[in-house]
Amino acid sequence: TILLIDVGRSMCAQIAQNTDGQVTKADVALRIARNFVQHKLLFTPKHEVGVIYFGTAETRNDLSEDGYQNVFVGREGKVHVPDIDTLRQLTALPAGGAEPDSVNGLIVALDLMIKHTGEQKYNKTIHLLTDNASVAAEDQDLLECVKQMEVTGTRLHVSLVGVTGSGPWGPLSATSKSVEPVPLSKFAQDCSLFVKPVEQRAKVRLNLIISPSMQIPIGVYSKTTRVGFPTLKKCSKLAASVAAEHRRTDAVLAERTTYVADDPDGEEVKAEDRIKGHKYGQSIVPMSEYDEAALMYTSERTLTTLGFAPAQSVEPQSSIHHIEEVAADQGDP
């Protein structure tokens, strides 16, 4: 995904005010872009993201010599997995206020996308955050951009800031499946939620024992599951100092070696010579995997009704953790 953010003259207009001062349309666009990157960093860390600003006072892109001015490519001109540095870059707007041109921004974004993906298969998306002042519906260059997106399989999502309706992008979406207006509220909501599609499968199928003479075949399903935020992984500082084009991985590789404490030679104890031990009093009892299997407690799965209670007695706070529900087995009337 490439985030294409308008910071031009019209986007510098105030739309709200808070305790920190005036809030412009560009501030709103930047905040949503930051939430998008943070969402990808937490939940889909392999999703590659690029950032491009147009309407900037400074020009930095590979097509600047061809006349594509006031377009600034962030992240050092790369499309890569999100990181903390990207979030830092999105905390402050670059110097803007120039005349914005969405077409120039789209052309630079398409060029960056094509260079990055090449002939490989990617889900290519450009998300444009702008208002109605940066493009005209009859612009022939815009129509050429849409054709190029159809050829390359790139989708353009457009979210308008501080305006109502879809502007000139509505007619384009009617003629091209590559263009899709996305309301700003929906984009903001998508950046704050993470939905993981889960196929409903029974965890176990057994009989619900109501009485010695009555049993019902049922399936047990997960209704709600508590999911924590993914943990941060360890990264090698030594690998981070290597240039990105030569770096293979930045993961920390841990190697463990086992020795006998009172061995004067300090020879390594190989895995096949080691056995698990369990502490029993002051001594340690060795126990192989065969001993553990023989002593493992086995039980039969059953579900028995112990009693009944009114639904009003189950308080709401009892339903905010891991909840399982019981349903009649498939095909059982």
Report yes or no on whether pTM surpasses 0.85.
no
Residue 21 binned pLDDT confidence (cut-offs 50, 70, 90): low
Q: What is the pLDDT of residue 137?
A: 63
Contact 38, 87 (CB under 8 A): yes
The share of the chain scoring above pLDDT 70, in percent, equals 94
Helices (H), the chain: 25-43, 84-89, 102-117, 140-152, 169-175, 184-190, 237-240, 289-295
- β-sheet bridge partners, residue 283: 280
Which tokens belong to 136?
Answer: 């005209």
The CATH class given to the 2-190 domain equals alpha beta
Residue 179 burial by Cβ neighbours in a 10 Å radius (0-12, 13-18, 19+): buried
Q: How many CB atoms lie within 10 A of CB 119?
A: 5
Highest mean pLDDT among 170-179, 210-219, 245-254: 210-219
* Rg for the chain, CA atoms, rounded: 29
Pairwise CA distance, residues 169 & 161, whole Å? 13
| 297 against 136, higher pLDDT | 297
Report which DSSP code applies to 19: T
